[in-house]
Chains A and B, each alone.
Chain A
Amino acid sequence: MNYSQTDSAKNYRVFFLGNILISIGILIVTTGGSWDISNHLLNRPETFFAPPHAVLYSGVMVALFGAALVMLKMSVKEIKSENRFSIKLILVGIVLLLGAGPFDFLWHSSFGLDGLLSPPHLALICGMVFSSIGSFISIAKNSAVFVSRSYVSKNILTVLSIIPVWLSVTGLFFSFSLPFSQTDYFDFNPDPVFGAIFATIAFPFLISLMLHMAYLVNDRKFGFISTTGATLVVINMMTSIIPNPWLHPTVPFYLFTIIPIVLCDLVLMMTKNKMRTYLAAGVFGMLGYFVYYPLITHVYNKIDTNQIVSASMTSKIYFDMVLSVYPLIAVPCIVMGLVGALVCHRMINSIRRQEISSPLS
């Protein structure tokens, strides 16, 4: 990148800002979406004008504005050549996001209320996944230029770019595991056994992948895993636990999940052998059952106790299941944690190789 010319530097700044806005937008969308799921579980709102919807759609507006900035600058030769893949992802994501709105409206008009998994919702979630991954890659590639010296800014940027990916992929994974997709017209609910196996494989993989991502894109420095993990835990708490008053006593238990994340961050800082990565990856995998409380209750309840997971019964059913479910999922969770770390290392290496080859080309 050559920032000697003012125009070029300005172009990069606008492009970078666009990507940050996309990430912020998707972060708002996913937070609103998670809140909306909790609202539906507690007091199924039948009006479009609900606060979670307002949050969700304001996020879409922010993401669209960010995408407009990216599109404005994507024709700049240097930007285009250096960010080809991430721009493509953003464009596909934004097209899906834009298309999902009218598609959802038509779907609602034809079939009434829909569940979590429906074709328009899948388009919306895929749009969020693609655009958040695209902006994450762009931010990771260009952040060194803009925030190279500030530890705090790097932390904020890491959270802003990784959490939207984490939350939108979580939404995608929950669509294929939660039994919330049966309506009068369609039954898109996953088979309970499939849902449980899928959750056992997918969530530990995702936790490990995301936390290692925060670690590796910041040159293996201490603090980024802790900040990213703690932010996700706090967002989940605010959107999935706080809206349900019956879950308030479990807030300390849920916040307790931050401790092993910080401890793994410390382990990675203290020792410099390969075992530390394996250990942290395994622990991250083992956190799947805890990080995804309380929604994970609905997944495992279907194959364990099969009770009605109503608002006041959620925590009781969750804790009643721990000792019957956890021994069965612990080993697969550890394995998927390790796979997540491995995939993350390969992805980062691939991005780094592209960074090296790009200026050469």
Chain B
Amino acid sequence: MKIALILTLAGLASYFGIVLFVVPQEYSDVPTLEPQPSFDAKISSNHIRLGDSFDIVVYSGNSNDASDIQIVSIAFPNMTKIGSNVEIVSYDFTQSPRYVKTGDKIGYAYSGGTKLVLAQYPSIEAYSRPVTPGAHYSVELKVTPDTVGNFTVFVKTVAIPHTTEYSHYPHSGIKDHQNEYVESFSVMVSQ
């Protein structure tokens, strides 16, 4: 009986030794996913009159590895609130869109929300989870600017896990209020 007890205690010690020192090493070495999201955006018109609308369609895709979450953000730096000026015409992402209001806490520098900053302007975030390589999702918005002048739209996509510089698109250029790269589109609104 004493030997059996010693063996059992040795088994317990072995268990904790294995789960603390052997197993973590095995699982930590597993490579992480490296998704490569991208998008193609099209604007229906570059010049409109005040009161008229234009459409913006964003086709997003993902390559290389699957991503747990892929977000496409369409922001309106000339607006203070979205209100009825932006309408979703079509949407096939798997999750409902998220409306970001001016002043909301949002993620900073591709941290995915672990570092936060206050939004300086509104945006719409379309997202799917998970997104396999080769999957495509699109969103179409009808935008009615409420001021005369150059109306700007920022578009970007970010994949989670964000493991490399290719986990977001675009990879360079203008940075937005989240310190993340965006592609900028302009529409001239005249009287």
Give the residue name and chain of the A residue nearest to B23 (CB): A253
For A326, the chain B residues whose CB sits under 8 A away are 20
The answer to whether A312 touches B24, judged by C-beta atoms less than 8 angstroms apart, is no
Q: Is A283 an interface residue (CB 8 A)?
A: yes
Residues of A at under 8 Å CB distance from B? 42-44, 46, 249-250, 253, 256, 259-260, 263-264, 266-267, 270-271, 279, 283, 286, 290, 306-308, 310-313, 315-316, 319-320, 322-323, 326
Residues 1 to 59 of chain B near chain A (Cβ within 8 Å): 1, 4-5, 8-9, 11-12, 15-16, 18-20, 23-24, 27-28, 30, 32-33
Instruction: Offer 5 A-B interface pairs, CB within 8 angstroms, sorted by A.
Output: A43-B130, A253-B19, A263-B11, A270-B4, A313-B68
Tell me, in angstroms, the Cα distance from A306 to B23 when the chains sit together. 22
A-B pairs under 8 A by CB, number: 88
Chain A interface SS verdict (over half):
helix
B160 and A310 form a contact (CB under 8 A): yes
State the CA gap A249–B114 with chains docked (Å): 27
Which of B5, B28, B129 touches A316 (beta carbons < 8 Å)? B28
B86: Cβ under 8 A from any A Cβ: no
Q: Take A43-B129, A270-B1 as given contacts and tell me if A323 and B20 are in contact as well, using a CB distance cutoff of 8 Å.
A: yes
Query: Any chain A CB within 8 A of the CB of B134?
Result: no
- B12 to chain A: which residues have CB within 8 Å? 260, 263-264, 283
Which residues of the other chain, B, contact A310 by a CB distance below 8 angstroms?
Answer: 68-69, 112, 160-161
By beta carbon, the residue of chain B nearest A322 is B24
Q: Kindly report which residue of chain B lies nearest to residue A302, judged by CB atoms.
A: B114
> Is B186 interfacial (CB-CB < 8 Å)?
no
Report Cα–Cα, A249/B27, bound state, in Å. 9
Q: Is B96 an interface residue (CB 8 A)?
A: yes
Contact: B130 with A311, CB < 8 Å? yes
Q: Are B130 and A319 in contact (CB under 8 A)?
A: no
Q: Which residue of A lies closest to B115 (CB)?
A: A306
